[in-house]
Structure 1
Amino acid sequence: MFDRASTFGETLDSPAGRAVLEKHLPGIAASPMAQQFRSARLGQLVALVPELEEPAARDALWAALAEVGDGTARAPYPPAIAPDPAYEADEVAPASATFAPAPKARQWDPLEVRLVGPSHGNPFVDVELDALFTRPDGSVVRVGGFYDGDGVYVVRALADAEGTWRFRTRSTARSLDGIAGTADVAPAPVDAHGPVRVDGFHFRHADGTRHRPLGTTAYAWTHQSEARQQQTLATLAASPFTKLRMCVFPKSYLYNANEPIDFPFVGSLETGFDLTRFDPAHFRRLEQRIRDLAELGIQADLILFHAYDRWGFSDLGPAVDERYLRYVVRRLAGYANVWWSMANEYDLMWSKDLDDWERLAAIVGEEDPFGHLNSIHNCRPFYDYDRPWITHVSIQRVDVYRTAENTDQWRERWGKPVVIDECAYEGDIDQGWGNITGEEMTRRFWEGAVRGGYVGHGETYYPPALDAPGDADDDEVLWWSKGGVLHGTSPARIAFLERLLAEAPDGVWDPLPGDWDVPWGGTGDVRVAYFGFNRPRFRNVLLGDGRWRVEVIDTWNMTVEEVTGTHTGQVRVDLPGRQYMAVRLTRVAA
């Protein structure tokens, strides 16, 4: 039978399956989807098809598909595996594992308890380990531990307070249970500000420093060669970006045909994966990349699940999903610059429903006692961003043209910061989501900013058109997925916008009452009007109380020109008759 788990390609290759698809979705076999989504699951694909928005239409399709196919039943999902209570014999002395003191931590560093203990059997599933940490102020936090291979166990906390910490381990393995000790945490270095927290409709670090998430996207950059990863880091170092969206699992999609060198689980596509064993070397490399981003002042927005998959990771089943999630969060919650994204385009994850996402989000909350930001990203329908575990709105375009223009409405709807992580990508590929101009990308950033939100960047220039050499085995290196080098014109303009935002009294803009044709943002004493597509030769501006400085901003040419004098009441502001202009008003006297 064919069902939600069947791939689009295998269904099309069956005459009976193809006939069902053509009956319910006329023309789909000859559409671009027939090639683009051959490896996609039917349950993922139908979420993209407007004809199947109604439940009755979907039910009719599934019923028809169930009547065709080879009749082979699908294997059940792997079961949950409980820790082995007899993993170590009674004669093993409690707390007898070797405690390896970790390097002295500073505030906002990971604070680690490292133990050398047993390695027989399968410690990834046989052993449960955690520790109770007592902070200098007496508060207690439970932190889950993980197996790091070769008999090494780690409990990794986030050192969110300076002073002396105490800890005591708890474990189903006798030698790991009851180990106690202390660790001193030094003051934070001047450039370490702690994890990012929500501040109304905006963000601050834990120490109060303002954070503006100017994000970009390189989904699979950590799954590329070491040389490509280093190239990506060098590019980021010269960019304005302060947040990077990236996947834990590898990605299979257009321009993503290369095979990673390793995976979160031990194994390969050819030999299969052992879903009871993680690959510690893979995760150590991921941790190094997170540390590299921290050195650059960049937040790692980690996508925990996604649907673009040829290895089976998008359909692991509830027990393996939970095992994976606990392992990942326990390993990475000790890093201050981590954000969680439950999924990229959650609605394409055909094997998970809303109850699954709520269950998985609760696991993240349980295993992350340090409260990193968490959200979930949509393809078409919005998630319920009112859910209490969601700290901010992570959203993508809802229309080919209009998205950032909705920012202030979404702020009002959900009462949380709005981050448009995917507004489309600057580039020139054959997909509508990947061929907007640098001017349009910059415009969308400005439209979001004056409405009090944040817009994310991505780039999809096709390398041959750029005459840009690729790897010997990969000539399709697009920044949006594999990283590498930025070629577009928007990053410099985004840096210019960031400079202007930083000049605001509190480092942010909020939406202000606007004109019918022009949005205004800023604060009471600094107000910005953005004209976008429009190109007036002048604008009559009402100033309000006090005296004001008036500046004309060319957002594309990155210039700020002050209008002579200070002004009261109303002022005519002459403009050059070009698109992408803005006006900034600053009150200089009450």
Structure 2
Amino acid sequence: MLFMDDQTKTREILEDEAGRNALRMALPAVVDKPAKFGGALELPIGALATLFRVKESIQAELWERLASIPAKERTEPLPVKPNPDYEGLDVPTASAAISAPTAGRVNATLEIVLGGPSHGNPFTDVELRANFRLGDIELGVGGFYDGDGRYVIRFLPPKTGTWEFRTLSTARSLDGHAGTITVEASSAHGPVRVAETFHFAYDNGEVYRPVGTTLYAWTHQSQELQEQTLSTLAKSAFTKVRMCVFPKAFIFNDNEPELYPFDRDGDNWDSTRFNPAYFRHLEKRIRDLDDLGIQADVILFHPYDRWGFQDLGKAADDRYVRYVVRRLAALPNVWWSLANEYDFMTTKRREDWERFAQIVTDEDHADHLLSIHNGTRMYDYSAEWVTHCSIQKVDYYKTAEQVTDMREQWGKPVVLDEIGYEGDLEYEWGSLSAVEVVRRAWETTLRGGYYTHGETYYDDNDVLWWAKGGKLVGQSAERIAFLDRLIGESPTGRLEPILRMSPTPIGGIEGQYEIHYQGYSQQRFQTVDIPDAHTAKVDLIDTWAMTIETLPGTFSGGQRIEMPVRPYMAHRLRIEAAAS
């Protein structure tokens, strides 16, 4: 029997007399005036309790009471196993037509295509894999059915050499194909990896800085709007886009997409049959981003759903994750995010996220970055599979200020993927001024983290950048580009937090390249801190006006520099050993 817990939907608890009695001690207003809370009743009770700052001791008592209350039983569809008798013994092995390259390049996608059977349901009846071997290296790569008798295996070769491959399949005609592919060196960056504990680099070692933006549902819009989005991105400094696989249903997101991920079975989705056209389109857009030098942070699940995609059952979830990863893992510019706001989903538990992570890591031969994003309740980012922290603001007033502590806590890169959006909506998350977004970007960066931009200005046609793309109308994006340029001028192309007795953040390379940010303080002068026997050139930086003024001469420790008495200023020290 299932029992209620912190992930149970609040509305479900209210529908149960024992649930209401338990909830009254923690959130009496929700019990007495539920209509006041509207759509928030669709949230898990744990998210709601955190949102309304219920004391931890009271939360613990609530979870204890809920644990004795039966939850609604769910009928879970059973997993569908591949059919070992899909093709009879009269079908020769390795008899399907195959198109395989004989040559390729490191970190460039290779594709093996087989023309095979299409009877029954090839999405579930047929299992197809290939083993790729180079010396002692062996990589297993899952294949997928692309419709119309077309089977595909995609491989992203990580090293030069002559790779041998052999296919394995439950369909005899697809089983036992073998060949070799000679892979040569290339200038391709390859996937992004974690570097130096808290940072990122491409597979070829080149520094990568995630300058992110948010475009949740951009691939589900009209072709014209998608092309406009790409045109805008091409002129921006963004190097990462957060985007959902599933379409999104939320405020300003009422349009129906042209394509859906599954075939329909009457009024229901047939989760055993994927729509290849849907995924081909998704792949095209991810490749379009790659052409612009932009990483696709692919979000596998989210709670904003009117189609039922988040509630298909465990077997369907697993099948979907496996299919998506097999299709996309050989694309070099992919990141995986298991969820946007995982804790707002009432149909998933911690064991589900851990299972999805295992599927992703098992199926992704290219080892792309992998994380999960929170709503109100932080995930345990110490999990071995988590490569970096993908965090929503944890406090309305302070999140960027906690980045250094988060780095220390998790020992991994910290990306504030939702620091709040520049916009003018009625919601606190979508009504930040451009000045505040830029301040948060600076605070995050100098404290050793990374951030993701978003823009939510009201539009009569409901075309808001954060969901649908189009054009940027705000003022923060160009100032974020200015900040990234300054980081790029660092000798390492990165900034480390410099922990010095200072009320405002300092970042850079201590004693070599330092940026001191004053935030909302306005100062008439600053006393520079420069090591003995060194001098520095000093640049005054107006982070809003995007100007850099180099002060005449050089400075040594203890000297005073004049400041313009306005907020959001910074100064940069370019330090060198003094001439003897």
The question of whether the paired residues in 2 share the 8 Å contact of 1:114 and 1:153 is answered with yes
Q: Secondary structure at the match of 1:456?
A: strand
From 486, 491, 499, give the equivalent of 2:485: 499
* 2:150 equivalent in structure 1: 152
Give the corresponding residue for 1:459. 455
Partners of 2:34 and 2:479 in 1: CA distance: 37
Query: Paired residue for 2:371?
Result: 375
For residue 223 of structure 1, what is the aligned residue in structure 2?
Answer: 220
Which of 447, 471, 477 aligns to 2:463? It is 477
Q: How far apart, in 1, do the equivalents of 2:36 and 2:157 lie?
A: 48
Residue number in structure 2 paired with 1:214: 211
TM-score (norm 2): 0.92
Please tell me the root mean square deviation across aligned C-alpha atoms, in Å: 2.6
Match of 2:381 in 1: 385
Specify the SS of the correspondent of 2:572.
Answer: strand
Cα displacement string for residues 313-361 of structure 1 (whole angstroms, at most 9, x for unaligned residues): 2222221111111111111000110001111112222222222221211
Deviation track 1:488-543 (CA, whole Å, cap 9, x = no partner) reads 10001001001100000100010112333221110030011100011111111221
Distance verdict in 2 for CA 1:569–1:11, change over 3 Å = closer
Closer, same or farther: CA 361–96 of 1 in aligned 2, 3 Å:
same
Query: 1:274 Cα shift?
Result: 0.1
Matches within 5 A, 1:120-131: 120-131=119-130
Q: Which amino acid aligns with 2:295?
A: Q
Cα 1:559–1:522 change in 2 (3 A) is same
C-alpha separation in 2, matches of 1:441 and 1:62: 41
**2: CA distance, partners of 1:304 / 1:44:** 20
CA distance in 1, matches of 2:60, 2:126: 44
Contact 2:420 2:432 in 1 (8 A): yes
Q: Give the match for residue 398 of structure 2.
A: 402
Query: Which residue pairs with 2:231 in the alignment?
Result: 234
Does the 8 Å contact 1:345/1:377 carry over to 2?
yes
- Counterpart amino acid of 1:242? T
**Residues 129 and 141 in structure 2, CA contact (< 8 A), matched pair in contact too:** yes
Q: Provide the C-alpha distance between the structure 2 equivalents of 1:104 and 1:41, rounded to a whole number of angstroms.
A: 51
Letter in 2 for 1:162: T
Q: CA deviation at 1:47?
A: 6.2
Measure how far apart 1:26 and its partner are: 3.8
Alpha-carbon distance, 1:46 to partner: 5.9
For each residue in 1:367-407, what CA deviation from the matched residue of structure 2 results, as whole angstroms up to 9, or x when unmatched? 01211111111112221211111111111111001011111
Partner of 2:90: 91
Q: Give the distance between the partners of 2:476 and 2:39, measured in 1 at CA.
A: 28
Q: State the alpha-carbon separation in 1 of the partners of residues 151 and 213 from structure 2.
A: 34
Preserved contact between residue 551 and residue 561 of structure 1 (Cα < 8 Å): yes
Instruction: Name which of 354, 357, 360 aligns with 1:358.
Output: 354
CA contact (8 A) 1:20 1:64 kept: no
Q: 1:353 to 1:47 in 2, by over 3 A?
A: farther
Verify the 8 A CA contact 1:47 1:347 in the aligned structure 2: no
Letter in 2 for 1:518: T
| Structure 1 position 185, deviation (Å) | 3.3
Alpha-carbon contact 1:376-1:394 (below 8 Å) kept: yes
2:427 paired residue number: 431
CA distance in 2, matches of 1:11, 1:551: 59
Offset of 1:30 from its aligned partner? 5.7
**Is the alpha carbon distance of 1:6 and 1:354 closer, same or farther for their aligned partners in structure 2, counting shifts above 3 Å?**
closer
Give the alignment partner of residue 557 of structure 1, picking from 539, 545, 551: 545
Closer/same/farther in 2, CA of residues 123 and 42 from structure 1, 3 Å limit:
farther
CA contact (8 A) 2:23 2:62 kept: no
* 1:250 positional shift: 1.4
Tell me which of 167, 170, 183 is aligned to 1:169: 167
Unpaired stretches in structure 2, ≥5 consecutive residues: none
State how far apart, in whole Å, the 1-side matches of 2:530 and 2:36 are.
53
Deviation at 1:184, TM superposition (A): 3.3
- Per the alignment, residue 414 of structure 2 pairs with 418
Partner residue of 2:569?
581
1:304 counterpart SS class: strand
- Residues 2 and 17 in structure 1, CA contact (< 8 A), matched pair in contact too: no
Task: Single out whichever of 532-541 and 303-312 deviates more from structure 2.
Answer: 303-312
Shift of 1:163: 3.9
Q: Quote how far apart the aligned CAs of 1:114 are.
A: 0.6
- Give the 3 Å change call, closer, same or farther, for CA 60–254 of structure 1 in structure 2: farther
Other-structure match for 1:471: none
Aligned residues: 569
Give the 5 Å matches for 1:280-291.
Answer: 280-291=276-287
1:262 alignment partner in structure 2? 259
Matches within 5 A, 1:290-329: 290-329=286-325
From the superposition, tell whether residues 478 and 148 of structure 1 become closer, same or farther in structure 2 (CA, over 3 Å).
same
Match of 2:523 among 522, 530, 536: 536
**Contact preservation (8 Å) 1:17, 1:65:** no
1:76 counterpart letter in structure 2: T
Name whichever of 507-516 and 420-429 sits farther off: 507-516
CA shift for structure 1 position 74: 5.1
Q: Partner of 1:70 in structure 2? A: none
Shift of 1:247: 0.8
Whole-angstrom distance in 1 between the partners of 2:105 and 2:83: 36
Q: 1:256 to 1:44 in 2, by over 3 A?
A: farther
**Is residue 56 from structure 1 mapped to residue 61 from structure 2 by the alignment?**
yes
Unpaired runs of 5+ residues, structure 1, are 67-72, 465-474
2:474 to 485, 488, 491: 488
Instruction: Select between 548-557 and 313-322 the one with higher mean Cα deviation.
Output: 313-322
**1:57 aligned counterpart, secondary structure:** helix
Aligned residues of 1:44 and 1:349 also touching (Cα < 8 A): no
Which amino acid is 1:460 matched to?
T
Secondary structure of the 1:183 match is strand
Match of 1:348 in 2: 344
Worse-superposed segment, 478-487 or 326-335: 478-487
Shift of 1:60: 4.5
**3-state secondary structure, aligned to 1:521:** strand
Answering whether residue 80 of structure 2 is matched by residue 81 of structure 1, we say yes
Rounded Cα–Cα distance in structure 1 between residues aligned with 2:264 and 2:51: 32
Q: In structure 2, how many angstroms separate the alpha carbons of the residues matched to 1:349 and 1:318?
A: 14
Name the aligned partner's letter for residue 395 of structure 1. I
Shift of 1:262: 1.8
CA contact (8 A) 2:13 2:20 kept: no
Alpha-carbon distance in 2 for matches of 1:42, 1:225: 36
Contact 1:205 1:211 in 2 (8 A): yes
**Cα distance change on mapping 1:257 and 1:275 into 2, 3 Å:** same
CA deviations 1:14-64 (Å, max 9, x no partner) are 798998799564444867874444765768756645449614325656878
